[in-house]
Amino acid sequence: MACKRGALIVLEGVDRAGKTTQCKKLVQALEQSGRPVEMMRFPDRTTTIGQLISAYLEKKSELEDHTVHLLFSANRWELVPLIKKKLEQGITLVVDRYAFSGAAFTSAKPGFCLDWCKNPDVGLPKPDLVMFLQLSAAEAALRGQFGEERYETSVFQRAVQQKFEQLMKDPSVNWQMIDASQSVEDVHKQIATHSLNAINTAQNLPLGELWK
């Protein structure tokens, strides 16, 4: 019998909501329970395309807004063969940001509509579960200052949050809202529960195509 596929699990949320902390904890917990699992993050700054994106985010280079949007999308597409291979091997992937960040961040810029921003990512492997870590701007501020990278301002992050809210109205995506203001442990428990459900459900289902 063919091995059961892994689940594609995505964490999204505003800056400092705890995405990276929770991705790592989830991977650890799944590993400890003997489930094959790996973490990924977007942008993946290690590839040639990722290095262009990284220089842009670090404000070491300028890129035209449409161009950088397409590079973020290309950075996901270049990893699709690997994503599919891992899932087919039964490995669950825990992903820190995905196409939802892509659409939310670019459409928060003047002159961009959400539909245009979603288009390049149509047909990507569809996550079995997308957890949105919800945290108010005031609570995020208690977790430290904004960094120095592009997009790290409260005005822009508020616009991004509104775009995420629009994306979350789409019932074709399995969104789960997580109250990220709770303790790391409590947030983790909820994330682990949703993830175990998604892993169990996904193993008998074909991988879907995003926004199609």
Torsion from C-alpha of 175, 179, 182, 188, nearest 10 degrees = 0
16 touching ligand ADP, by CB under 6 A: yes
- Min. distance of Cβ 152 from ligand ADP in angstroms? 10
Pick the stretch among 6-14, 26-34, 97-105, 179-187 that binds ligand 2DT (CB under 6 A). Answer: 97-105
Q: Which amino acid is at 89?
A: Q
How is residue 198 written in tokens?
């998604």
- Nearest residue to ligand 2DT on Cβ basis: 102
6 touching ligand 2DT, by CB under 6 A: no
177 touching ligand ADP, by CB under 6 A: no
- Min. distance of Cβ 17 from ligand ADP in angstroms? 4
6 touching ligand ADP, by CB under 6 A: no
Asked if 6 and 87 count as a contact pair (C-beta separation under 8 A), the reply is yes
Of positions 68, 129, 167, 187, contacts ligand ADP by CB under 6 A: 187
> 97 vs 188, which CB is nearer to ligand 2DT?
97
Of positions 13, 18, 43, 127, contacts ligand 2DT by CB under 6 A: 43
> 43 vs 127, which CB is nearer to ligand 2DT?
43
Instruction: Please name the residue ranges forming H helices in the chain.
Output: 19-32, 48-57, 65-77, 80-88, 99-107, 114-118, 137-142, 154-167, 184-202
Distance CA 138, CA 103 (A): 24
Residue count (the chain): 212
* Straight-line distance from the first to the last Cα atom of the chain, in angstroms, rounded to the nearest whole number: 29
Q: Is the dihedral of CA 29, 35, 36, 40 positive or negative?
A: negative
49 touching ligand ADP, by CB under 6 A: no
Distance CA 111, CA 97 (A): 23
Window 138 to 157, contacts with ligand ADP (CB under 6 A): 143-144
Q: Which residues contact ligand 2DT by CB under 6 A?
A: 42-43, 57, 72, 97, 101-102, 105, 151
Q: Which residues contact ligand ADP by CB under 6 A?
A: 13, 15-21, 143-144, 183-184, 187
